[in-house]
Amino acid sequence: MRYLSGLFTALLLVANPSVFGWDHWGADLGGSRFSKLDQITPANVGNLVRAFVFHTGDLEARAPELMARTKLEATPLFVEDSLIFCSPFNEVIALDPGTGAPKWRYDPKISPTQLPANRYNCRGVTYWVDTKAAENALCRARIFMGTNDARVIALDAKTGIPCVDFGDHGEVRLDVAKPLLWPGEFQITSAPVVSRDVVVVGSAISDNTRVDGPAGTVHAFDARSGKPRWSWDPLVRDGIEAGAANVWAPMSADEARGLLFLPTSSPSPDFWGGKRPGDNAHANSVVALRTETGELVWSFQTVHHDVWDYDVPAQPTLTRIDTGAGLRDVVIQPTKQGFVFVLDRDTGQPVWPVEERAVPQGAAEGEQLSPTQPFPTHVPALLPQQFSAADIFKPFLGLGNSACEQQLSGLRNEGLFTPPSTQGTLFYPMTGGGVNWGSAAFDPVNQILYANVSRAIHIIKLIPRAEVEGLKPAKGFDLGEQRGAPFAMTRRVALSPLGFPCNKPPWGETVAVDLKAGKILWRSTVGTSEDRAPLGIAFKWGTPLPNGVVITAGGLVFTGAMDAYLRALNAKTGEELWQGRLPVPGLANPMTYFWKGEQYVAIAAGGHSEAGTTIGDSLVAFRLARPGETPSLWSRTIDRPGGRFLSGALVVALTILLLGIGLWRWRRRPH
């Protein structure tokens, strides 16, 4: 039956090759992350085997201290009979899709002294075909990439040769306008978007360095010549002093409407906004611009006057949904808070009511908070937004967790949107919580939204300027100077002595949502402690999931996690069906493609330096076993709820031992 399915799929592929490729970062220009491939199903997913593992060579070629500043978050494209992706150092690599053998690679020579604030990172590249060029002309099909040192590069998609007619011999350099404090204060991390012959890029900017940070200007260039087409600054600057509101997350485009959709971030600095009074339009917003001119069409703000670092972190998902009153073209925008906003694509108006609700006040000196914030009413929040002492993680046979209780006591904690303070404020969801850059996925057939969410606590504290001198970052603490503000800030994740979050698990989930009904269909805990805990103990507590998922017509959801497995879930139930072992954790978005009669699933596995995982440099692909092949230890089905875990008695005994050691070490260390 598998080969009949493969034959049918192959015939469809010939008829419409784009249906079964992966030619955009989010599968399509609207970021659906949905594939019509159906060869791999819940019935046969247990037969997946590793097709290949490709290593970029960074582990051998780069210094360890440089690799410690990397994040391999790239999603490959399947175009021009190749898998094409970028390394954290912006090397573009093309592989044979069946064997993983390299076909070409291009190195833009990123400086090892760049030291980008958001780590060396490249989430992906962009593919575009110049329909006006001759069929076999060089650079008719192009790969575009933004770089850590603020260049936009155009390459021939078949050979990797720079397109010399684009800018200066294949590249243009962004005009940052304001002098940088160091080269890595400004970079490009997400893939550009190309629509209507225009290539558009955002930027990633150091968040908490200074009030007058670089502007978050979005830049557009002619896709053929590289000549500037337009630029757009997200901030309305009347009477404010601030920078950023940049677009660091991926963008989307509606080719037919000629609209570009931007997810904008918070103004600088994140946690004190006394010099930027008002709502700070169009920061923290979903924004629609005319693709060809940059003209503002509409803007919807998800956070007013942000002092919580609640950027709009995810690619806007463009799709058509059944609202109960007929089909409607919409923009779906998930957020760090766990909200899902559903907006009309033409007007930006909410499809279902959004209420302005009163939020906690009593800000730090000089601050002017918004009295209300927008709350969606139809789609429930994807994760809890309140935290109390009852939610502290107590694995020690239900007894107290004094280390976490000590950390969390005395903090301001009045629920979502409690403002930062000098006494310290509990942020839940954390600034990297909810849905992050991995974005959401939407099944247009079954009308279901899927998203990964992370649950952890941030402790944010404002430090009066007079106390900042001599203050140095400590292990586990971020220190943001917020120059030009009366306060610096510190940020840390609330962790137990064993390194586990202080809040109860699960710490990472995949969530399925029926948008029409406004109902969460299922939650599935994703990830275990196997690759972090002593002795490889696999507590199924979930791991933070900044990455996203891919969903298939075969009825599967694939995702990576902070342990070294690619997982397959049943799209209808959330049941975990299969695990594929990776060299290191795969905190990137997986993708799927069809090659020579076989469906493959691939994911970049490079670990995550900010999360403290093992660092790697691999791209791993899986396919169904061929005749004579059998799944190995690198691929396994889940035979019982929870998978392969230790017996209850042994888990309890080891938990007592490990917590005892951890608490003893906690009490001995200086506070």
Q: What residues does 514 pair with on adjacent strands?
A: 448, 519
Buried b (16+ CB within 10 A) or exposed e, 121-151: bbbbbbbbeeeeeeeeeebbbbbbbbbbbbb
Beta bridge partners of 601: 592, 622
Q: Is the peptide bond before 162 cis (omega within 30 degrees of 0)?
A: no
Closest CA to 412 of 459, 477, 480: 459
CA dist 539 and 505 (Å) reads 10
Q: Which two tokens stand for residue 275?
A: 């010099």
Alpha-carbon distances of 576 from 513, 561, 622, 633, 640, rounded to whole Å: 17, 13, 17, 17, 9
Which backbone phi and psi does 95 adopt, to 5 degrees? -120, 155
Compute how many other C-beta atoms are within 10 angstroms of the C-beta atom of residue 177: 10
**With b meaning 16 or more CB within 10 Å and e meaning fewer, what string describes 52-63?**
bebebebbeebe
Tell me if 59 sits within 8 A of 70, measured CB to CB. Answer: no
Token pair belonging to 137: 């002309």
List own/partner pairs for 374-377 with CB under 8 A and 24 or more apart.
374/301, 374/302, 374/303, 374/304, 374/341, 375/339, 376/339, 376/340, 376/341, 376/342, 376/350, 376/352, 377/352, 377/353
User: Quick one: DSSP state of residue 306?
Assistant: -
Token readout for 399 is 């007894």
DSSP assignment of 524-536 equals EE---STTTSGGG
Alpha-carbon gap, residue 601 to 578, rounded angstroms: 13
Residues 6+ apart with CB under 8 A from 203: 150, 174, 186, 187, 188, 214, 216, 217, 246, 247, 248
Q: How many helical (H) and strand (E) elements, i.e. helices and strands, does the chain have?
A: 5, 43
| Distance between CA atoms of residues 371 and 357, nearest Å | 8
Locate 320 and state its tokens: 């058509």
Catalytic residue among 23, 156, 207, 309: 309
- Reading the block at residue 149, the tokens are 């040192």
Q: What element of type H or E holds 670?
A: none
- 635 beta partners: 580
As a whole number of Å, the end-to-end CA separation of the chain is 64
List of E strands, 526-607: 549-552, 556-559, 565-570, 576-581, 591-595, 598-605
Of residues 205, 201, 161, the one with CA closest to residue 183: 205
Dist CA 317 CA 571 (whole Å): 19
Secondary structure (3-state) at 450: strand
Sign of CA dihedral 20, 22, 27, 30: negative
Helix, strand and coil in the chain, % to nearest 5: 10, 35, 55
38 is catalytic: no
Active site residues: 309
